[in-house]
Structures are given as C-alpha cells and as structure tokens.
C-alpha cells in the first residue's frame, strides 16, 4: 500500500476518533439542555413553564416593561417581559424592536446592528413574531406577541448555537397557557417545528452538523490531495520515455525528501536506466541519482515503520535537485528515501 494511502487512512481514523469525542461532548451539552421538568411561572395574565434548572426570578422595571429574569450558568438566561400594548400597533413595534426594514410576510434573514437576524411571522391563533439573533457563537431567541392589550416578550439567551437549545426555547414557548388552557394551537406548533429548516440550519444547528463538518473537511482535503498526487506522479510523455530507455518505471512512487528543518513526502514518477535513477514531478525531471556519483554518496536500505521497505540516498541537495526551486528550497545535505517493494533492485541500478 502506498504511503499516501496509509497516511490518508490514518487521518480518517484520527478524524473518526475526534468526531466521536465531539459527539460525546455535544451529547453531554444536549442532555444538560434537554431539561425534563418545567415549573409554571406567572407571565402577565398568562403562565409559562420555565426549566427547573433555572434559578428564581430576578424582577425589575425598565422603560414601561416589567421584566423577570431566570438564569442557569450552564445553559443560559430566560427573560419574560410584559408591557401595555403599543398604540402604534404590533407590527410597528416589532419593526422598531428588531431593527427590521419591514415586517416579514413569512420569513426574513437580514443583518443589522452587527448581527445576523432571522425573523418568522407566526400566523397561528395568537399572531406574533419569532426572532433569532446571532450573538458571537451564541444565539438570542425571542417570541414577541400581543394578547389581550398586553405586549409579551419571551427571550432566551445562550452561548450555544445547537438546535437543542432552540428546541428548549420552543418547548417553553409551547408551554404558554391562558386560564389553564394552551395559548398556542397545533397550527402554531407546525410553524414552530419548521423554524430551523426555514433558517437553513444556520441559526440553530443540528448536532450532526458538528459531527460531519470536520470529517467532511478531512475527506475533501484527502480527495483533493490524491488528485494532485496522481497528476504529480505521472511518467514522462512517450517521447521522453523513448529517449530514456528505462529498465524499470513506477508511477506515483512515495518519496521522502528531507533537509534540516524540512521534510516532505511526495508522489513522484520513477524511472531507472543505464544512467541511474530519475524522479519526475509533473512529468519534469525533479531529482536525479546518477550511477557515476553514487560512490561519493551515502546509500542504504531499510524498512520504515509506516512506509515499508525503502532505498535511501544522502547527498548535497545542489547535486540532486534538477528542477527550479520556487516555493520549497532544499539546501545542505539532502535525504532522498524511495519507498518501494524492491529496494535491492533499485540499488543494483545505481551500482
């Protein structure tokens, strides 16, 4: 197996381990956020369920609003606020509070005050608007509505963007009751269930997103690298091959190139003829190991723990490298290690 394939499998294995670790970490967050019990809390003329893990209410009055705040250090903050309904109308108030250009007919994604916002017009039996705002890595969820000449503001602030936290907020919203009966009906619940999908899962991200993202990036990088390596390790064209008259050829040979402070493992095309061994990169001569100089250099065979059997030559880089060095310059003593299943055969071509 080529060393590049072994390395790719190693990277995939590491990424799977990392993905598993991320899953257990996020799962623990999910368990903490999915609180089974809600306690009934007065909310103006309504009642709402607040998770048991949140502390007692801290109340205050500000700008005509009566505000109650409930905090959980590990999850976030719920805020309940009530005020007399504005005479300018519900939609005008929402436009002002949420920095909108206009009130959305269905959904809207926009940028204002340095944040991205998602707004959805909730048209159930109790019309309102649900807004999600980005706050760094976290999110601010708000459900704003009018009922019985009172404006209601239900917010949840959290430092996480996981869908689990959005689900917790939705669960609290659905717990709203008036006179012991559910305030919001099945139509509202249906609209609420599509919020994350309507926002393209940007504002409330499923746990699967965090599991697949690093693995997908690694797989794309490996796929791209394999394409480059295949092109890099192609043999010269037919005209060049006729001039070389090789005894042995190998495409995509794994070669380690090392000088002080720099190490590369690259895929090169290998040819061996009466003059020695030539290594080609993108069908251009890159490194040459001539037979008439091999006695002046150090040559050895070995078996790498990762790459398998190899033939190794140590010599001045200036005498080995034939291509113009643009991005990676090799100076001083250079090690050329060719991983091959036939190191003794390649050695014979140099003697």
Q: At 41, is the secondary structure helix, strand, or coil?
A: strand
Residue 131: the pLDDT is: 96
Query: Regarding the domain with residue range 34-200, which homologous superfamily does it belong to in the CATH classification?
Result: Mog1/PsbP, alpha/beta/alpha sandwich (3.40.1000.10)
Structural tokens at position 218: 């690694």
Cα distance between residue 238 and residue 208, in whole Å = 50
Q: What is the pLDDT of residue 215?
A: 76
CATH 2.30.29 fits 233-350, yes or no: yes
Look up residue 115 and give its two tokens: 């944040």
Tokens of 71: 């905090």
| CA 334 and chain centroid, separation | 38
What mean pLDDT value characterizes the chain?
A: 86
Q: What angle do CA 156, 159, 165 make, to 5 degrees?
A: 55
Domain ranges for the chain: 34-200, 233-350
Q: What is the pLDDT along the chain (351 residues), one digit of tens a residue?
A: 466 666 677 777 877 787 777 777 766 766 665 555 899 999 999 999 999 889 999 999 999 999 999 999 888 999 999 999 988 889 999 999 999 999 999 999 999 999 999 999 998 778 899 999 998 889 999 999 999 999 999 999 998 888 888 989 999 999 999 999 999 988 898 899 899 889 888 888 877 776 777 778 878 887 887 788 788 888 888 888 888 888 888 888 888 888 888 888 888 999 988 888 899 988 888 888 888 888 888 888 888 776 678 888 898 888 888 876 655 677 788 888 888 877 888 888 787
- Residue 325: its pLDDT value, please? 61
């Amino acid at each position: 197996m080529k060393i590049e394939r072994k390395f790719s499998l190693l990277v995939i294995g590491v990424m799977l381990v990392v993905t598993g670790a991320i899953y257990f970490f996020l799962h623990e967050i999910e368990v903490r956020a999915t609180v089974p019990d809600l306690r009934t809390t007065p909310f103006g003329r309504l009642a709402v369920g607040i998770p048991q893990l949140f502390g007692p209410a801290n109340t205050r009055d500000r700008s005509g609003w009566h505000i109650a705040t409930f905090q959980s250090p590990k999850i976030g903050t719920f805020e309940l606020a009530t005020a007399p309904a504005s005479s300018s109308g519900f939609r005008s108030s929402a436009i002002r509070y949420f920095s909108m250009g206009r009130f959305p007919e269905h959904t809207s994604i926009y940028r204002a005050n340095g944040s991205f916002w998602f707004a959805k017009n909730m048209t159930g039996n109790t019309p309102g608007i649900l807004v999600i705002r980005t706050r760094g890595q976290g999110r601010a969820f708000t459900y704003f509505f009018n009922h019985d000449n009172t404006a209601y503001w239900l917010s949840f602030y959290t430092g996480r963007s996981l869908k689990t936290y959005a689900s917790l907020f939705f669960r609290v919203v659905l717990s709203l009751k008036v006179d012991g009966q559910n305030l919001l009906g099945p139509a509202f619940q249906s609209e609420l269930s599509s919020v994350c999908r309507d926002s393209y899962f940007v504002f409330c991200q499923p746990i699967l997103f965090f599991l697949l993202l690093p693995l997908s990036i690694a797989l794309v990088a490996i796929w791209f690298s394999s394409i480059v390596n295949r092109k890099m390790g192609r043999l010269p064209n037919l005209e060049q091959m006729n001039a070389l008259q090789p005894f042995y050829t190998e495409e995509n040979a794994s070669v380690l190139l090392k000088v002080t402070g720099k190490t590369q493992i690259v895929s090169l095309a290998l040819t061996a003829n009466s003059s020695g061994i030539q290594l080609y990169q993108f069908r251009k001569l890159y490194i040459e190991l001539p037979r008439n100089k091999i006695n002046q250099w150090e040559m050895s065979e070995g078996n790498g723990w990762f790459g398998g059997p190899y033939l190794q030559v140590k010599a001045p880089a200036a005498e080995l490298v034939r291509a113009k060095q643009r991005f990676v310059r090799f100076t001083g003593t250079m090690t050329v290690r060719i991983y091959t299943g036939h190191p003794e055969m390649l050695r014979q071509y140099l003697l």
